[in-house]
Homo-oligomer: A and B are copies of this chain.
């Protein structure tokens, strides 16, 4: 199953059912039927039917014939969710400049659990097809932004990531805890994280953390591009500068 969710059976709270229903939709799905949703959520088909009816009444789900889609209202609410953080709005111009200057793809991401979530992405004109997606997730230890954030996070956050098993994403993903720790120490010293084909073969990335007043990271920005075209060391100062500028406004 693409959207491999752990079975939430046992947690019978109504909220859990709603959340499970919304989470059942994965990228790539356009519209799902009642039975498919029942299969993915582990809920009885009847319940899915009723729940989706209710959700549809409030715009959180939409019907396309008999199939179900995520509702437009979710998009609206989702935009408010990031807007509350303010980050995206203030970062936009900075990211745009960075893209202009580097002609590559620029990322803004935050950490959630053991993964990063991309808040904004500006694709470069001659950029590779990266696996990143606005609103998408990626294992933190396998990305530049992730390592930048982790290096400026409390220990227990890093421990949790390591405890997660450092899943291999590409052939070059760092899967050794000791190696990761060593890298993070270096990142912490330089305030710059590099990533070389660890998330996707053929691409590299240079990232820098956005920190708050306490010195802990709240986000990170990065520039990514082709491995043989992008000179990461050369771009590091630009990325670092943008991250610092953003840190000042947070």
Contact = CB atoms under 8 A, between A and B. Distances in A.
Given A74-B74, A74-B78, A76-B78, A59 B18 contact: no
7 contacts: A15-B51, A16-B58, A19-B55, A70-B77, A74-B74, A76-B117, A79-B134
Contact of A76 (B13, B51, B58, B136): B136
A94 to B, nearest CB: 13
Which 3 interchain pairs have the tightest Cβ spacing? A78-B78, A79-B135, A15-B54
A57 B15 contact: yes
Contact of A72 (B22, B70, B112): B112
Interface of A: 13-16, 18-19, 22-23, 25-27, 29-31, 51, 54-55, 57-60, 69-84, 86, 92, 110, 112, 117, 119, 123, 133-137
Contacts of A59: 19, 112
Nearest to A59: B19
Contacts of A16: 54, 57-58
A160 to B, nearest CB: 16
> Which of A54, A75, A137 gathers the greatest number of chain B CB atoms within 10 Å?
A75
Contact of A27 (B31, B73, B83, B134): B83
Contact of A74 (B31, B81, B137): B81
Contact of A81 (B26, B69, B112): B69
